[in-house]
Amino acid sequence: MTELLSSVSTFDDRLSTREAKIGIVGLGYAGLPLAMSFAETGFEVTGVDLDEARVSALQQGRSYLVDVPVERFGQIDGRLKPTTDYSAVASLDALTICVPTPLSKTRTPDLSYIVSAAESVAANLKAGQLVVLQSTTYPGTTEEIVLPILEASGGRVGEDFFLGYAPERVDPGNATFTIKSTPKLVAGVTEECRRRTELLYSQIVDTIIPCSSTKVAETAKIHENTFRAVNIALANELALMCDKLGISAWEVIEAAATKPFAFLPHYPGPGLGGDCIPIVPHYLAWRLREYGYSAQLIEAAHEINARMPMYVVQKIGDALNDAGLPIKGSRILLLGVAYKANVHDTRESPSFEVMRQLLLRGGEIPYCDPWVSEFELDGVLHSSVEWSREQVGGADCVVLLTPHAEFLEQPLWEHARLVVDTRNAVPDGDNVTRI
């Protein structure tokens, strides 16, 4: 007990004096902003990532994320030290694992990145070290997957090392809700694990919300994203229904949103994108199958949202048909392939499926995206064209998929023959069709 009390004092003191060495495993959309936040608060931060291109960029003071502008590197005085070598873990007081958890084609969670990271950390585990999992995953992962791997190193949780869970709540491109201003959920395998996790994140986050168990925190994170997925599915289905009724779903939603209580507006679109909303609900659905439970609402929401790219293709076909044109041979300019406005992120972007289906139907499909200069689709490299009057006027149909600020600040819609607007961002006109 005396040894544990000494450990507590040392850990707390090192955090309060900024002497503690912090580690971030995985320097992607969640990990790099987190690493920068600790470095900007005065901590020496070691960032571990097996992607040599990422590490090289950071070593040269170059950023690859919109949320980490290069100017921020000038504020940390070299306190972020990126590396591909896991042996650096042995010198850390606390570290957070921020690796991806993708789904397979059968919508089964792939924990290989978490397992690999946990095994590498375990091989370099330091006595008294706090390890926090931040990756979004199914309920039970922290204690059923990560804990046994760390205990295999010979230590005992709550005494020799400490294990917590603190899900990420990053919204790329959101300047209002940052890591600091967004409340942080934290949990631990033991009470001391939770306390240390809470203390760690309180250094960079204004509001900490402790949860009674890691499973509660894991499930809360999934519920947040499931809430969005289900309500977006409702908005998307409303668009499908209003299309049948011959009325505007956008007008219906705005009318309903005037109610000052018990309604939160969500809006239709071309489909879901990003690495959370289209994916995370399936972690819970998959987990519940082990208990003989079918998450029917999650599955139904997925089916509706997954249908939207084809609905967009249908609307494009209808608009062209009304103008006496087929998709085959028509030049259809797609605006935006990032999954949301004003970011570079194309993960799970519905724009890709829209493009794929239009190409299969014989269309000529250029795209314009000021944030994504090129991307590969089905083995073919596509490059962005300019956002210009010539490109808009030369297209048989212009399709707004991602409402980047550049498109809205320089509206060229009056030069388009036809516009299909999936975001309700284009002014009304005889040439405009909305989903």
Q: What is the DSSP string of 242-296?
A: HHHHTS-HHHHHHHHTTSSSS-------S---SSSTTTHHHHHHHHHHTTT---H
Give residue 64's pLDDT. Answer: 87
Which of 211, 242, 276, 368 is flagged as catalytic?
276
In sign, the C-alpha dihedral spanning 304, 308, 314, 319 is positive
Q: What angle do CA 24, 25, 27 make, to 5 degrees?
A: 80
**64 phi/psi in degrees, rounded to 5:** -125, 15
- The CA distances from residue 192 to 130, 143, 163, 189, 221, in Å, are 10, 15, 9, 8, 22
* Contact between residue 188 and residue 196 where contact means Cβ atoms under 8 Å apart: yes
Q: Could you give the CA distance from residue 129 to residue 162 in angstroms, rounded to a whole number? A: 6
* Contact between residue 89 and residue 126 where contact means Cβ atoms under 8 Å apart: yes
In sign, the C-alpha dihedral spanning 242, 247, 253, 258 is negative
Give residue 6's pLDDT. Answer: 54
Q: Could you give the CA distance from residue 262 to residue 264 in angstroms, rounded to a whole number? A: 7
Which two tokens mark 120?
A: 């590498």
Rounded (to 5) percent helix, strand, coil in the chain: 40, 15, 45
* Contact between residue 346 and residue 352 where contact means Cβ atoms under 8 Å apart: yes
Q: How many CB atoms lie within 10 A of CB 133?
A: 29
| Residue 213 DSSP SS3 | coil
To the query of whether residue 211 is one of the catalytic residues in this protein, the response is: no
User: 385: burial class by Cβ within 10 Å (0-12, 13-18, 19+)?
Assistant: middle
Per-position DSSP letters for 296-357, written without gaps between them: HHHHHHHHHHHHHHHHHHHHHHHHHHHTT--STT-BEEEE--SSSTT----TT-HHHHHHHH
CATH topology of domain 2-216: Rossmann fold (3.40.50)
Element (H, E) at 31: helix 31-40
Residue 96 bridge partners (DSSP): 24, 132
Q: Kindly report the CATH class assigned to 231-236+244-434.
A: alpha beta
Give residue 133's pLDDT. Answer: 98
Give residue 171's pLDDT. Answer: 81
Return per-residue pLDDT of the chain as tens, 435 residues.
445 545 566 899 999 999 999 999 999 999 999 999 999 999 999 999 999 999 999 999 898 888 888 889 888 989 999 999 999 999 999 999 999 998 887 888 999 999 999 999 999 999 999 999 999 999 999 999 999 999 998 899 999 999 999 999 888 778 789 999 999 999 999 999 999 999 999 999 999 999 999 999 999 999 999 999 999 999 999 999 999 999 999 999 999 999 999 999 999 999 999 888 899 999 999 999 999 999 999 999 999 999 999 999 999 999 999 999 999 999 999 999 999 999 999 999 999 999 999 999 999 999 999 999 999 999 999 999 999 999 999 999 999 999 999 999 999 988 999 999 999 999 999 999 999
Q: Could you give the CA distance from residue 161 to residue 126 in angstroms, rounded to a whole number? A: 8
Cα torsion through 154, 145, 105, 355, rounded to 10: -90
CATH 3.40.50.720 spans which residues of the chain? 2-216, 231-236+244-434
Give every CB contact of residue 143 below 8 A, 6+ residues apart in sequence: 189, 214, 215
* Contact between residue 250 and residue 235 where contact means Cβ atoms under 8 Å apart: no
Q: At what angle do helices 214-245 and 280-289 cross, to 10 degrees?
A: 110
Q: Could you give the CA distance from residue 363 to residue 202 in angstroms, rounded to a whole number? A: 53
**400 phi/psi in degrees, rounded to 5:** -85, 115
Give residue 1's pLDDT. Answer: 41
Give residue 7's pLDDT. Answer: 58
Give residue 242's pLDDT. Answer: 97
Give residue 202's pLDDT. Answer: 97
